[in-house]
Amino acid sequence: MDSDTKSGFDNEVDSKESAFYLDAAKYWEQVPPTVDGMLGGLSSISDIDLKGSQRFLNSIYQLVECPGKERALDGGAGIGRITQGFLMKNFPVVDLVEQDRHFLEEAKKSLKPTNHRGQFFNIGLQKFTPENCVYDIMWVQWVLGHLTDEDLISFLRRCKLGLKPRGLIVLKENLTSSGEVEMDNTDSSVTRPHALVVELIKKAGLRIIKEQKQQRFPSDLYEVRMFAIQPV
Ligand SMILES: C[S@@+](CC[C@H](N)C(=O)[O-])C[C@H]1O[C@@H](n2cnc3c(N)ncnc32)[C@H](O)[C@@H]1O
C-alpha cells in the first residue's frame, strides 16, 4: 500500500471516529439536565443503582489492601447524580469530568449549596488526563460505551497514573448477553459483551480484583456489572 492510499484510509477511520463522538455530543446536548435525562427516562432505578454501588464500595473496603478515602473522580459525571448521591458520602473531595457543558453547569449549581469540594473538568474522557497520583477511587459509570476500544484502553492507561498507591478504578457498565458489540445509533454508543470489557481492561495493563452484578434492576434491561480494577 503506498503512502497516499494509507493516509486516505486513516482519514476515513478518523472521520468515522469523530462522527461517533460528535453524534454523541449532539445527542446529549438536547437531553434535559435531570436524573431522568441521565438515565434515559429510568430515574426510578437511580436509588437502587446508588445503593448497589455503595454495597460494592463497602466490599472493596473490606479488602486488606484497601484504598484511601480522600479523593474520588466521577468520570462521565453528567449532572453529578453519582457524585451527590453516593461518592460525596464516602469522599470529602470529588472531581467531576463531563463532556457536556450544560450538564456540568447543572452539577455546579446543585452542588453549590452542599459541602461539595472538588474540581469540574469539561472535557471528553478520550482527551482527559488526570493529575498524577491523586485519586483513591475513579468511578466511571455508564459512559465507556461512548469511547472507541482504542480510546478506552488509552483512557484507562492514563487513569492508572492518576491513582494513589492502593487506589482503584471502578467501571460500572451495561453488558450485552449476545456476546456481540451492539451499536445504539440514537445516542452514538456501543454496548460491549463481558469478554470484550475484560480484554480491554487487560490490554490497559489492569487486573480485575472484584466484580459484581448489579442486583434488582428490571429484567428487561442489559445486565449491569461493576468491575474494581487495579494496575497489574
Ligand atoms: C448515561 S449518562 C450517565 C451519567 C452519569 N454517569 C450517571 O450515571 O448519572 C452518560 C453521560 O456521559 C457523558 N458522555 C458522553 N460521552 C462522553 C465522553 N466522551 N466523555 C465524557 N463524558 C461523556 C454524557 O454527556 C452523559 O452525561
- Kindly state the average pLDDT of the residues 21-48: 98
Q: Give residue 182 CA to ligand 1 midpoint distance, Å.
A: 18
In the chain the first and final C-alpha atoms are separated, in Å, by 38
**What is the per-residue pLDDT across 176-207, written as a single tens digit (0 to 9) for each?**
999 999 999 999 999 999 999 999 999 999 99
pLDDT category at 13 given cuts 50, 70, 90 is confident
DSSP code per residue over the chain? --HHHHHHHHHHHHHHHHHHHHHHHHHHHTS-SSHHHHTTT-GGGHHHHHHHHHHHHHHHTTSTT---SSEEEEET-TTTHHHHHTGGGT-SEEEEEES-HHHHHHHHHHHTTTT----EEES-TTT--PPTT-EEEEEEES-GGGS-HHHHHHHHHHHHHHEEEEEEEEEEEEEESSSS-EEETTTTEEEEEHHHHHHHHHHTTEEEEEEEEPPS--TTSPEEEEEEEEE-
Which residue is closest in CA terms to ligand 1's atom 9? 81
**What is the per-residue pLDDT across 106-142, written as a single tens digit (0 to 9) for each?**
999 999 999 999 999 999 999 999 999 999 999 999 9
Distances (CA, A) of 121 to 18, 43, 48, 92: 20, 25, 27, 18
Q: Give residue 173 CA to ligand 1 midpoint distance, Å.
A: 12
Residues annotated in the binding site for S-adenosyl-L-methionine, as ranges?
76, 81, 125-126, 141
Look up the CATH number of the domain holding residue 107. 3.40.50.150
Which residue is closest in CA terms to ligand 1's atom 2? 38
CA distance 174 to 125: 18
The phi and psi torsions of 190 (rounded to 5 degrees) equal: -120, 155
Q: How many CB atoms lie within 10 A of CB 123?
A: 12
Atom of ligand 1 nearest to the CA of 125: 20
Q: Is pLDDT at 15 greater than 60 in this prediction?
A: yes
- Kindly state the average pLDDT of the residues 25-35: 98
- Kindly state the average pLDDT of the residues 15-38: 95
Out of 34, 51, 143, mutate this one to test ligand 1's pocket (max ligand atoms within 8 Å of CB): namely: 143
Contact, 50 vs 74, CB < 8 A?
Answer: no
**Average of per-residue pLDDT values in the chain:** 95
Closest CA to 197 of 180, 214, 185, 183: 180
Q: Give residue 29 CA to ligand 1 midpoint distance, Å.
A: 11
Q: Is pLDDT at 104 greater than 50 in this prediction?
A: yes
Q: Is pLDDT at 101 greater than 80 in this prediction?
A: yes
pLDDT on residue 17: 80
CA distance 231 to 84: 27
- Candidate from 16-25, 36-45, 142-151, 193-202 with smallest mean pLDDT: 16-25
Q: Is pLDDT at 7 greater than 80 in this prediction?
A: no
Residue ranges around ligand 1 (CB below 6 Å): 24, 28, 38, 76-78, 81-82, 98-100, 103, 124-126, 141-143, 146-147
Report how many domains make up the chain: 1
Q: What percent of the chain has pLDDT over 90?
A: 92
Q: Give residue 78 CA to ligand 1 midpoint distance, Å.
A: 5
Q: Which domain holds residue 215?
A: 3-231
CA angle 84, 72, 101 (to 5 degrees): 60
Which residue is closest in CA terms to ligand 1's atom 22? 76
Which residue is closest in CA terms to ligand 1's atom 20? 124
Q: Give residue 193 CA to ligand 1 midpoint distance, Å.
A: 19
Position with higher pLDDT, 9 vs 110: 110
Contact, 214 vs 55, CB < 8 A?
Answer: no
Q: What percent of the chain has pLDDT over 70?
A: 96
What is the four-CA torsion angle of 178, 180, 185, 190, rounded to 10 degrees? 110
